[in-house]
C-alpha cells in the first residue's frame, strides 16, 4: 500500500478511536475498580473483537448487517442487553474492595466474569462497529490490488492504534484507583459507571442502520 494511504488511515482512525464508546467505558471500569491486570485483559478482548470486525468488513461479511434489518436488530439488542446487564450489575452490587470486581466467581459464572470475555463480547456485539468499518475501510482499499494483502497492513494498524489508546486510558484510570479503596467513593464510582453502561446500552438499542 502507498505510505500516504496508510498515514491517512492512521490519522483518521486515530481521531475516531478516542471518541467515547462501550470498549473504552468497559476498560475504564476495570482499570478503576480492578487495576491494570483486568483492564489489560479487557483491552485485549476488545482488540480481538476489533480485528474480527476489520477482517469481516474487508471480506464483505459485515454487509449482512447492512442489508438485513433483522440481523442488525438481533445483534444490536444482544449487544445492548449485555451492556445493560453489566451496568445493572454495577448499580445493584454492594460496595466492594478494589480488586473484588475483578475476581471471577466460581462455577459457570467464572467465564462470564472474565474481563477478556467481557471485552470480546462487548466488541463483537456492537453492530455499529461492523457497519462503521464496512463504510470506513473501503475508502482506503485499492480494488486493483489484493484486499487480503491490504488487510494485513490495515488490520494490525487498526488494532495497534486502538490498543495504544486503551493503554493511555488504563494508565490514567489506574491513577484513580486510590479512590476505590474508600467505601463511599467506591460505591459512587460503581453507580456512575453502571449508569454510564445503561445509557450506552440504551443508545445502542435505539440505533438505526
Range in 25-29, 75-79, 83-87, 184-188 the model is least confident about: 184-188
Residue 170 within any structural domain of the chain: yes
Residue 137 within any structural domain of the chain: yes
Arithmetic mean of pLDDT, 40-60: 89
Please state, in angstroms and rounded to a whole number, the distance separating the CA atoms of residues 100 and 103: 5
Residue 123 within any structural domain of the chain: yes
**Could you give the number of structural domains in the chain?**
1
Arithmetic mean of pLDDT, 70-91: 77
Instruction: Supply the range of the domain harboring residue 82.
Output: 3-9+22-205
Residue 16 within any structural domain of the chain: no
Mean pLDDT of the chain: 77
Residue 32 within any structural domain of the chain: yes
Sequence-distant (6+) residues with CB within 8 A of 199 are: none
Cα–Cα distances in Å, from 123 out to 24, 39, 97, 106? 10, 15, 27, 25
pLDDT confidence band for 97 (50 / 70 / 90): very low
Residue 17 within any structural domain of the chain: no
Residue 15 within any structural domain of the chain: no
Residue 40: the pLDDT is 95
pLDDT confidence band for 96 (50 / 70 / 90): very low
Q: Which is more confident, 177 or 85?
A: 85
**Could you tell me what percent of the chain has a pLDDT over 90?**
19
Residue 183 within any structural domain of the chain: yes
Amino acid at each position: 500500500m502507498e505510505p500516504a494511504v496508510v498515514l491517512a488511515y492512521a490519522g483518521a482512525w486515530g481521531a475516531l478511536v478516542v471518541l467515547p464508546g462501550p470498549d473504552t467505558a468497559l476498560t475504564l471500569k476495570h482499570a478503576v475498580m480492578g487495576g491494570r491486570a483486568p483492564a489489560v485483559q479487557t483491552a485485549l478482548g476488545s482488540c480481538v473483537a476489533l480485528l474480527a470486525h476489520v477482517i469481516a468488513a474487508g471480506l464483505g461479511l459485515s454487509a449482512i448487517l447492512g442489508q438485513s434489518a433483522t440481523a442488525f436488530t438481533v445483534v444490536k439488542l444482544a449487544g445492548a442487553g449485555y451492556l445493560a446487564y453489566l451496568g445493572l450489575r454495577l448499580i445493584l452490587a454492594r460496595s466492594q474492595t478494589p480488586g473484588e470486581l475483578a475476581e471471577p466467581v466460581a462455577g459457570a459464572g467464572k467465564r462470564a466474569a472474565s474481563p477478556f470475555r467481557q471485552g470480546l463480547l462487548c466488541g463483537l456485539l456492537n453492530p455499529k462497529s461492523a457497519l462503521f468499518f464496512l463504510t470506513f475501510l473501503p475508502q482506503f482499499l485499492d480494488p486493483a490490488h489484493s484486499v487480503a494483502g491490504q488487510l494485513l497492513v490495515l488490520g494490525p494498524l487498526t488494532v495497534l492504534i486502538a490498543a495504544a489508546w486503551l493503554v493511555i486510558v488504563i494508565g490514567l484510570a489506574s491513577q484513580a484507583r486510590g479512590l476505590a479503596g474508600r467505601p463511599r467513593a467506591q460505591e459512587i464510582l460503581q453507580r456512575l459507571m453502571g449508569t454510564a453502561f445503561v445509557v450506552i446500552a440504551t443508545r445502542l438499542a435505539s440505533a438505526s442502520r
